[in-house]
Amino acid sequence: MKRHPFIVASAIVPLIAASASLAAESPSPKPNILFIFSDDHAQQAISCYGSKVNTTPHIDRLAQAGARFTNSFVTNSICTPSRATLITGQYSHLNGVPVFNRFDGSRDNVAKHLQAGGYHTGMIGKWHLGSDPTGFDRWIVLPGQGRYWDPEFLVPGRKLSIQGHCTEVTTDLGIEWLKTRPKQKPFFLMLHQKAPHRWWEPDERNKAIFQGKTFPEPETFWDDYATRPAALPANEQTVAKDLTRRDLKLEPPAGLMGRARNQWLNEKPAEVEIAAADGSRKTLTGKDLIRWKYQRYMQDYLACVQGVDDGVGKVLDYLDQTGLARNTVVFYSADNGWYLGELGLYDKRFMYEPGLRVPLVVRGPGIRAGITPASFVANIDIASTFLDLAGLPVPASMQGRSLVPLLHGESPADWRTTVYYRYYHDPGHHNTAAHFGVRTATHKLIHYWKKNAYELFDLVVDPCEQHNLLDAAGEASKPEVAAKFAELKAEIDRLQKQYQDDGRYADPATWPAGSADGPFNDKQPIGVKTVAEAIAATGSE
């Protein structure tokens, strides 16, 4: 595969002559804001969150110098809706993106406010909202999901490709944007990585590091879903049954081409032949195959995560070397949670803890080092936080709250104590049933509204959510369980009223039109470009 040909000096100098030196820059009066976002990064695959499977030293650098939120959640655990919530500060039912539909770029968003407030705004990497970014002075984004190797990027009116691995290219685009931005303005940069999204294709260096490593299976890997029959048994995102030959990086038979080749790769194998330690071949089936699938999946997933962490380190080093770190607030987060074999799953969507929780780490001026705020926060809060940091008013349309008091080590008495969640994409990928619910400090109630089924968990005694407290008929057998059930149903009703969720997208017939993967095909291709040339091709809206 092609390697990333990092920018030669002759390509850079004409573009950044004014900033070729890494001399420290004078801080701007307002703080710069750098938001680094990854795709499908499990909180439990970050060492500062207690990972048992990998080490992420550069994300850890942020946590050591700033705040690591211990109760950070998403409101709809899926890529496109999460991104719409990020920039609007609204739940899916208000921002118009309940599923993988196109975001209406004429809507208000946080970048427009920052741009109007004097910030130079940029968006680089995975956008996945199906429309041209608005509110950004410069943008260069992947079409749809994008691809890992030799990725195509979109700039206003044009399409280009850059040789190399997407994580490395996106990181270098971000640094080049920082070098070529107007220095008289504070900046707001959203730097969004594709990794570690499926199909988990790591760069060669990290692939080699993780190849052959083995990882402990999670406690609930062999979950039989006995007490949760409403949705889990029918799901199609299990490690055991649903990873494809493409996921597992199996090599197609020689001579298989085109549609037949893709069909073979997309099949879910019931047996796999691998090389044995003595050089012979052996066929895996049953539990041996499931165990092998898990290790193969984890090797590639974690190698992709390592590439993201490498990129975080490269950006942090640049901020340190230029002096920008003194006046830049750096965020690291992910668009949704992810399963690393918990409940036997991969992917996201379900409201169980691995899919609901996301990393959120923030470092910058005025932020206390090493703090671990435990207050409940959600992705509806990020846009308000950006505006508060910039000293700009937060519009009433945003449903979240600024995290700035928490970043300063405060604990506001009126902070939320519950989080409301709603997932719509049913029917959809992986046969995940539509559901909504509430998460409190001690309990969780999930309602699969199409099935009229509930699941209630005591997270204190059952943190892995193995024991639904309700019986098969959805009834509580003990008075104290019945009381908690009624209390949480009332809390869901209260939150739906507070957030104006009238159920408008409960029926798929009401989902907005357009695709997050489709509307970019009108861009004119302009060939292979270096990172520096790609940045030069971006322009204002």
Can you tell me whether residue 153 is helix, strand or coil? strand
Distances (CA, A) of 445 to 103, 376, 459: 30, 16, 10
**What is the tens place of the pLDDT at every residue in 479-503?**
999 999 999 999 999 999 999 999 9
Contact 499, 91 (CB under 8 A): yes
Q: Give mean pLDDT, residues 75-83.
A: 98
Is the pLDDT at 18 greater than 50, yes or no?
Answer: no
Q: Is residue 335 part of a domain?
A: no
φ/ψ of 443, rounded to 5, equals -140, 165
Range of the domain at 482: 422-510
Mean pLDDT, all residues of the chain = 93
Q: Is residue 437 part of a domain?
A: yes
Degrees, nearest 5: CA angle 434-435-437: 165
Is the pLDDT at 17 greater than 70, yes or no?
Answer: no
**What is the tens place of the pLDDT at every residue in 117-126?**
999 999 999 9
Q: Give mean pLDDT, residues 471-486.
A: 94
pLDDT for residue 530:
85
pLDDT for residue 48:
98
Work out the pLDDT band at 517, boundaries 50, 70, 90: confident
pLDDT for residue 257:
94
Is the pLDDT at 2 greater than 60, yes or no?
Answer: no
pLDDT for residue 21:
39
pLDDT for residue 6:
31
pLDDT for residue 537:
85
Contact 436, 422 (CB under 8 A): yes
pTM (two decimals) = 0.94
Is the pLDDT at 3 greater than 90, yes or no?
Answer: no
Is the pLDDT at 521 greater than 90, yes or no?
Answer: no
CA atoms of 203 and 166, how far apart (whole Å): 9
pLDDT for residue 423:
98
Q: Is residue 473 part of a domain?
A: yes
Is the pLDDT at 68 greater than 50, yes or no?
Answer: yes
pLDDT for residue 429:
87
**What is the tens place of the pLDDT at every residue in 333-347?**
999 999 999 999 999
Q: Is residue 475 part of a domain?
A: yes
Of 8-17, 139-148, 362-371, 431-440, where does mean pLDDT reach its minimum? 8-17
- Which has more pLDDT, 17 or 327? 327
404 CB burial (10 A radius; 0-12, 13-18, 19+): middle
Q: Is residue 346 part of a domain?
A: no
As a whole number of Å, the end-to-end CA separation of the chain is 35
pLDDT for residue 25:
52
Is the pLDDT at 5 greater than 80, yes or no?
Answer: no
Q: Is residue 120 part of a domain?
A: no
pLDDT for residue 7:
31
CA atoms within 13 A on the CB side of 178: 29
Between the ranges 271-275, 298-302, 522-526, where is the mean pLDDT highest? Answer: 298-302
Q: Is residue 390 part of a domain?
A: no
Nearest to 356 by CA among 35, 67, 82: 82
Contact 496, 490 (CB under 8 A): no
Is the pLDDT at 81 greater than 50, yes or no?
Answer: yes
**What is the tens place of the pLDDT at every residue in 194-235?**
999 999 999 999 999 999 999 999 999 999 999 999 999 999
pLDDT for residue 523:
79
Residue 473 sits in a domain of what CATH number? 3.30.1120.10
**What is the tens place of the pLDDT at every residue in 379-416?**
999 999 999 999 999 999 999 999 999 999 999 999 99
DSSP 64-133: HHSEE-SSEE-SS-SHHHHHHHHHH-S-HHHHT-SSSPPP-TTS--HHHHHHHTT-EEEEEEE--SSS--
pLDDT for residue 248:
98
Nearest to 518 by CA among 151, 144, 157: 144
Q: Is residue 353 part of a domain?
A: no
DSSP 234-264: G-S-BHHHH--TTTTTPPPPTT--HHHHHHH
Q: Give mean pLDDT, residues 277-302.
A: 95
**How many domains, in total, are found in the chain?**
1
Work out the pLDDT band at 19, boundaries 50, 70, 90: very low
Query: CB under 8 Å to 375, separation ≥6 — which residues?
Result: 69, 71, 406, 411, 412, 415, 416
For strand 328-334 and strand 32-38, is the pairing parallel, antiparallel, or unpaired?
parallel
* Residues composing the chain: 541
